[in-house]
Structure 1
Amino acid sequence: MTCQSLIGAGIPRIDGVEKVTGEALYVHDLKIQGMLYAKLKTSPYAHARIKRIDTSRARALPGVKAVLTGQDVPYKLGLYMIDRPVLAVGKVRYFGEPVAAVAAVDLDTAQEAVDLIEVEYEPLPAVLDVEEAIKEDAPLVHEDLGTYSWIKGVYFPKPGTNIANHFKVRKGDVEAGFAKSDLIVENKFYQPQVFHVPLETHVTIAKWSAGDRIKVWTSAQSPFAVRDLMSVALGIPRSQIEVIVPYVGGGFGGKAGIHLEALVACLSKAAGGRPVKLTATREEECSTLPCRQGLVARIKTGVTKDGRIIAEEIEYLWDAGAYADYGVNIGRAAGYSGVGPYEVENVKIDSYTIYTNHVFGTAYRGFGHAEFLWAIERQRDLIAKELGMDPVEFRMKNLLKPGSVTITGEKIYENTGRVDKCLAIVAEKIGWPLVKSEEEKLKEKETGKYRGIGVAVLHKAPAMPPWTASSAIVKMNEDGSVHVLVGGIDYGQGTYTTLAQIVAERLHLPLEKVRMVWETNTETAPYDWQTVASRLTFMAGNALIRACDDLLAQMRSLAASILRCSEDELEFGQEEIFLRHHPDKRLSYRQLAIGYTYENGNAVGGPLIGRGKYIAQGLTFLDPETGQGLPALDWTYGAHAVEIEVDTNTGDIEVLKVVSAFDVGKVLNETLVRGQVIGGIVQGLGTAFSEHLIYDEQGRLLTRNLVDYKIPTVKDLPRKMEVYFVETPQLDGPYGARGVAEHPMISVAPAVANALANAIGLEMLEGPLTAEKVYLAWQEKCKQ
């Protein structure tokens, strides 16, 4: 395949063969000479004071090399809010929180030692509901909140309460807007916590060597973030911390930030510098490591009788769980995105990130948008019903379009993207509106199986600080091929394949001559902030274009001196550079790669290495009182339409068809982006129908394995899925592209719920839509 056809082509994943043959090495596969194995002692209580920990029997067990408690590692972790201890100190704040750790010669010995550790607890009242947690008399999850470190002026914790952050948006005059409204609709919505469920659980190997040099191999999304956060927590210079990330078996946001790395490093230090490996079991993945935050949303919307939204007052209560280091930014992102892709003149949003004694929350695919858009898109249908208006027409009247202004004051331009086009596509392809014949209606009544269709729209932009940057290196080898180094991680999304296409296209190379360096090491890879927020293709793609251009400029300068011409007379072809008006005068890449040698032996030039960097342009801090400013680099818009059949005899819902459309700016790899969308849809269906964390009355987590926690299988796939792309080029995007990694799972659940309401008039405000919940709600409706 020639380089001219690479952008947009459906290139197979370049890591596919290594992964399906088992050649790809993950941290799970790694074993280092002298390595010890670690296990955790976790809390059986959601909230309790630690009165005593006796580790004497564990320390005396043969084969045990290190035992740590919170008193041994007085460090706190956090990205935006530094609030989480490496091991619990003084008290535990959630069921499953680690209180001690052991390193031993094998896993059986480590587990035996953990069982020998005695912990005496004094149970405390647990806070298990966000609405209860914000009451004045609620028990405090963090009594010492005021002593923590956080990014001042961006996050606003309230010491003496369970509020880790309060983010505000104010636009226009919301009370005046309600006064002008012909109809006001108020609703309360709920979304539970859910698990990430990557195929590969969290795993880390660490070695703390002499001179306080730390080397870490970890399954993580962001090696430079791990290095940075370990440095801050442990007080070790970044230059002495080396983080290595090989292949990663999925993350979905759960492997962003820092998790096991600091603890494992401390175990290594306590064991005299021997390497230590800690592999989370599936139960620990569920109960000890983070989940997606839950949400209670209250929305009050004022509209005119012709369907214009003129005022919206919203309160988001985010269940951060026990710690909110990452969760505060989810509450912030939900605030500035908080009305969805709609133009609303008068807005008041209060987004609270709230501590509870649940498993702590972190980034998850969609970064809060799947949760709050459940509320927004459900209520859009409820409003349309109250107005007697078609839900698609109602949305079209209010969607952001070129010339619109967002709730933070950002103007939408022609190149920003078109959510209205996405909605138009899915509505047409699903067959909107659904019209049933009398015969079909009779059959539905006889069988208890009813069809319905629903729509929902979405938007999201990368949630990241203004200063986040990416960099890239492209170095040419002797044969004219290149090795590409980036600091971001491909943990299954296929980004490295797309980045390789960008490099091949820019350098006029066949794809097989572009080699992505898969293992990322902070000592050799160029810097990248984090692989989160659907930003890697956009940011690293731009950095790579600049690195390629730097490489091309070096080649052009060298070739000009060799061919004795001006640089502007030269052009690049397939692996060659030539004189435009004398195309027979040409040089191959391999002739220039490590320096050019004349016939007499003289040499000029030298190894070709291109460097590139990219930093987000124009982003600002937001006003603390109004939320006004520019929070987002680029917005990706989309829409889903769903056709379902609900069996009122059982409450089961079968998804017959899903149609999705996204404005991605430019399709860089049709196969991969389609795969991203389909995967996101299925993940969204999981949260729509079955996925949720369940606790007992004491706050003990009950869904601790994949038997009790249900995720979709191949049997749950829709009968048909159609994916469409709108291409409104992003002017500052690589070849016009913008990110779409998270977006496909956003708004799937409300589209399903809207289809359920369309089918049988059942208005569900709480997820997930389990068969039991649907059946009982239907039975209750039939009694009315």
Structure 2
Amino acid sequence: MQELKYVGQPVTRIDEREKVLGAAQYVDDLEFGPNLLHAQVVESPYAHAKIISIDTSEAEKIPGVVKVVTGKDFPYHFGLYMQDRYIFAQDKVRFVGEQVAAVIARDVKTAQKAADLVRVQYEPLPAIFDPVEAFKEGATLVHPDLGNYSHVPWFFPKGGTNVAHWRKVRKGNLEQGFAEADLVFEDTYRVPRYAHCCIEVHAAVGLCDQAGRITVWTASQSPHTQRHIFAEVLAPLGVNHKDVRVVTPYVGGGFGGKAGVTMEILAAALPTVVKGHPVKIHWTRAQEFYNTYQRLGVVATLKMGVKKDGSITAFDYTLYWDAGAYVEYGANVVNASGLSATGPYRIPNVKIDALCMYTNLPPGGPYRGFGYSELLFGIESHTTRMAKLLNMDPVEFKRKNAIQEGDSLPYGCAMNPNGLHECIDKVAEAIAWGQKEESTDPHKAIGKGFSIFWKAPAMPANASSAAFLKFNEDASVNILVSAMEIGQGFLTAMAQIAAEILTIPPENIRVEMPDTDRNPYEWQTVASHITWSTGNAVKNAAIDAREQIFAAIKEAYFLETDSLYLDNGEVKCKTQADFAVPLKEIVINGIMKEDGTYRGGPIIGRGTFMPKFTSALGDPETSQGGHPNVHYTVGAAALTLEVDKQTGRMKVLKAVEAIDAGKAINPMSVKDQMIGGLLQGLATVMYEDMRYDEHGKLLNPNFTDYKIPTALDIPDEVIPIIVETPQPDGPFGARGIGEHPMIPAAQIVANALEDAVGIRVKSMPITAEKVGLALQNGKTEVE
């Protein structure tokens, strides 16, 4: 097999040559001139209340106010997976911060002043903030009309309750599995909500011209999905898909918070009432916390049975997910997590109940890891504890039960090829597992924690990717795709894939950012599937272009196409050693024959990719019979933690992570992703903590009170390890790893803490305060 020239090489990020502007800055730079209007929303102070009346008269009197809109102007449902949300609240509000009205004015200060004059009369209603309480019979209903909402066929809402979706997984015989066990252990783990904390806040500009054509400029992970939702929700106004355009500049951080549709719906809707005027919406940091997706919280109870030799016999996991007031995207987090809630273990008898619960907190949605960080905190804490109860080494316990190729997944399908055992062994070696470390400071203790993990792309069965590829006169290439560069090195990876097929340097390829009028379809830049899915589309587009080139050569020179190949930007022939035609001579102008006529012409490749074996339509009572996930990416991680026994302060001395990337298209980017992702995960464990009062008001919607780490909080040493077990249907064997690096963070900290000082913390975050109080009070467990 010919050695790969560009794929698998540490290529310098080609996107560094671009001026990277996030949308917040980008929309300020657009030259809309004096026609640019500004919108300010009016937000609910109540978590749950009826709207009695809205008085906009005083606001409308302010000079410079162009229009004040309320729910009556846009009485339309929307939602990606569950249509349970309105652009503006209709008869009631369901969380603090929900949008009730908006003022459109000629400048920001006027819009803000007028918004303060909008008078809304409310009648408070009982609110509910805990997902377990929301599940109880007689609980306040957040959505009494739940049974009437449209939703995707793989959601199973329970009308007349707060259960927006109930994913059930049943495999084997659970009672028999527990009867066979020598040890049964049960406990509960809690993970709170988290904010995405992108440095760039959400911002958007929308324009509706006099012909009803809507254009939205916004930072987005989902330009085509946004266009689709905009067209659907505004269809009563006569809008259809050809009338909606979404243009996306570079994104200043996403992590899932810029997937789907949140505030962007305002940029599509508001301009329709002021045609010809672009309207700008720019969130404050506090609005970023409230009015974009938050990561779902969860209360999870796990019961596991094992034999004396460590074999897992039975697994019963119930997860109450706090999805907030609207679950139009968040319910898919619950769905995905439920299907994979065993973690990367081989378990014969399984019962999983993943419940998506409505509460009166802000809507939950996608966040890097898509529920796996939360569910694996419980699993990996639990398996470590069970190993110790068996007097068995935790790494040996995990290695013994770790899933392998061909093993049965929770929903009955076979596990894909993977290098999980190799990841375990390499991490154990790098962290010097089994070698106890002692601190030179008598007031400090050192412990080690270990975890294995997995994640599958959470996506509909028909999620697809497409790519256009066109040559220029000098044989440089432009690739048009609609996946987004959000810091993961996507542009470079796509250039490398095309370069490998076309045998031209990656720096001669430009990957263009999305514009839904120009670029082909992409579902969303989520789920760690872009390298795999869009990479396949780009590869197919490059192959298509190559075949067109060979066809032109055959027609012009009468050479068989199977004898032709590309080498360093030239067409060569296996049967004629001296035959070499540079691409730049033929890819635009074609090939001139002896009679002066031409063959070929401009080369434009097209490629698409859609997995053909997936199906979400398993039995709703067991999840057996479908094939909901395309594959799993697996890994292992460990860290060495130093704990101050007097204060509870913790410091990560060393962290190691190994992930099976299938094939690392750009090893340098993969390692950078692993380091950055693990640090983001550690932030959610040791620093970040969303605090609400008893009325559902967020107490720390800012970077002063909501702590995120700085450069001073980085571990002393981070070791990323790439494992490569090829994915059969991946481009050159690749699969995605973007979300995975942060998934094991919580459990490796919790496990290392217990190893160091004997304290088991069963809820996040694991802060110095929590540890210090436990040490002071002599506690060995912290709920």
Sort the TM-score into its range (normalised by shorter chain). Answer: over 0.9
User: Which residue matches 2:381?
Assistant: 378
Instruction: Return the offset for 1:494.
Output: 1.2
Distance in 1 between residues matched to 2:214 and 2:633, nearest whole Å: 39
Classify the secondary structure of the residue corresponding to 1:146.
Answer: helix
User: Which residue matches 1:681?
Assistant: 678
Mean Cα deviation higher: 72-81 or 451-460? 72-81
Unaligned runs of 5+ in 1: none
Which amino acid in the other structure matches residue 116 of structure 1? L
Distance in 1 between residues matched to 2:356 and 2:20, nearest whole Å: 41
For residues 85-100 of structure 1, the aligned pairs below 5 Å read 85-100=86-101
For residues 755-774 of structure 1, the aligned pairs below 5 Å read 755-774=752-771
Which amino acid in the other structure matches residue 369 of structure 1? Y
1:401–1:6 distance in 2 versus 1, CA, 3 Å:
same
Instruction: Return the offset for 1:412.
Output: 2.5
Deviations 1:713-746 (A, max 9, x none): 1111000000111110111101111000000000
Instruction: Return the offset for 1:698.
Output: 1.1
User: Which residue matches 1:160?
Assistant: 160
Distance in 2 between residues matched to 1:13 and 1:681, nearest whole Å: 21
Maintained 8 Å contact 1:102/1:267: no
Classify the secondary structure of the residue corresponding to 1:753.
Answer: helix
Distance in 2 between residues matched to 1:117 and 1:423, nearest whole Å: 59
Classify the secondary structure of the residue corresponding to 2:73.
Answer: coil
Maintained 8 Å contact 2:24/2:204: no
Instruction: Return the offset for 1:596.
Output: 2.1
Classify the secondary structure of the residue corresponding to 1:139.
Answer: coil
Classify the secondary structure of the residue corresponding to 1:639.
Answer: strand
Matched, 1:292 2:275: no
Match of 1:481 among 473, 476, 481: 476
Mean Cα deviation higher: 528-537 or 19-28? 19-28
User: Which residue matches 2:553?
Assistant: 559
Which amino acid in the other structure matches residue 692 of structure 2? Y
User: Which residue matches 1:431?
Assistant: 432
Unaligned runs of 5+ in 2: none
Instruction: Return the offset for 1:705.
Output: 0.5
Instruction: Return the offset for 1:212.
Output: 2.4
Distance in 2 between residues matched to 1:673 and 1:615, nearest whole Å: 24
For normalisation by structure 2, the TM-score amounts to 0.96
User: Which residue matches 1:495?
Assistant: 490
Deviations 1:61-87 (A, max 9, x none): 111112111121111221111111111
Match of 1:530 among 519, 524, 530: 524
Matched, 1:507 2:502: yes
Which amino acid in the other structure matches residue 229 of structure 1? I
Mean Cα deviation higher: 652-661 or 252-261? 252-261
For residues 91-490 of structure 1, the aligned pairs below 5 Å read 91-152=92-153, 154-235=154-235, 236-413=239-416, 416-436=417-437, 440=438, 446-447=442-443, 449-490=444-485
1:312–1:545 distance in 2 versus 1, CA, 3 Å:
same
Classify the secondary structure of the residue corresponding to 2:14.
Answer: coil
Maintained 8 Å contact 1:26/1:249: no
Distance in 1 between residues matched to 2:780 and 2:380, nearest whole Å: 28
User: Which residue matches 1:12?
Assistant: 12
Maintained 8 Å contact 1:640/1:660: yes
User: Which residue matches 2:713?
Assistant: 716
1:339–1:739 distance in 2 versus 1, CA, 3 Å:
same
Maintained 8 Å contact 1:28/1:203: no
Instruction: Return the offset for 1:5.
Output: 2.9
Which amino acid in the other structure matches residue 584 of structure 1? D
Distance in 2 between residues matched to 1:356 and 1:676, nearest whole Å: 34
Distance in 2 between residues matched to 1:636 and 1:22, nearest whole Å: 30
Instruction: Return the offset for 1:783.
Output: 9.6
Instruction: Return the offset for 1:403.
Output: 3.3
Aligned length: 773
Distance in 1 between residues matched to 2:389 and 2:161, nearest whole Å: 38
1:306–1:28 distance in 2 versus 1, CA, 3 Å:
farther
Instruction: Return the offset for 1:215.
Output: 1.0
Instruction: Return the offset for 1:18.
Output: 2.4
Deviations 1:605-660 (A, max 9, x none): 22110111110131112221111222211210011101000112111110000000
Distance in 2 between residues matched to 1:242 and 1:23, nearest whole Å: 16
Which amino acid in the other structure matches residue 571 of structure 2? I
Matched, 1:670 2:667: yes
Instruction: Return the offset for 1:343.
Output: 0.6
User: Which residue matches 1:614?
Assistant: 609
Maintained 8 Å contact 1:593/1:606: yes
Distance in 2 between residues matched to 1:26 and 1:640, nearest whole Å: 38
Classify the secondary structure of the residue corresponding to 2:700.
Answer: coil
Between the aligned residues of both structures, percent identity stands at 45
Distance in 2 between residues matched to 1:343 and 1:242, nearest whole Å: 47
1:28–1:391 distance in 2 versus 1, CA, 3 Å:
farther
1:433–1:311 distance in 2 versus 1, CA, 3 Å:
same
Classify the secondary structure of the residue corresponding to 1:316.
Answer: strand
Distance in 1 between residues matched to 2:582 and 2:746, nearest whole Å: 54
User: Which residue matches 2:539?
Assistant: 545
Maintained 8 Å contact 1:249/1:491: yes
Runs (4+) of structure 1 exceeding 6 A deviation are 20-25
Instruction: Return the offset for 1:17.
Output: 3.2
Distance in 1 between residues matched to 2:693 and 2:507, nearest whole Å: 55
Instruction: Return the offset for 1:763.
Output: 0.5
1:31–1:93 distance in 2 versus 1, CA, 3 Å:
farther
Distance in 2 between residues matched to 1:27 and 1:10, nearest whole Å: 34
Instruction: Return the offset for 1:601.
Output: 3.6
User: Which residue matches 2:622?
Assistant: 626
Which amino acid in the other structure matches residue 431 of structure 1? A
Match of 2:694 among 685, 694, 697: 697
For normalisation by structure 1, the TM-score amounts to 0.96
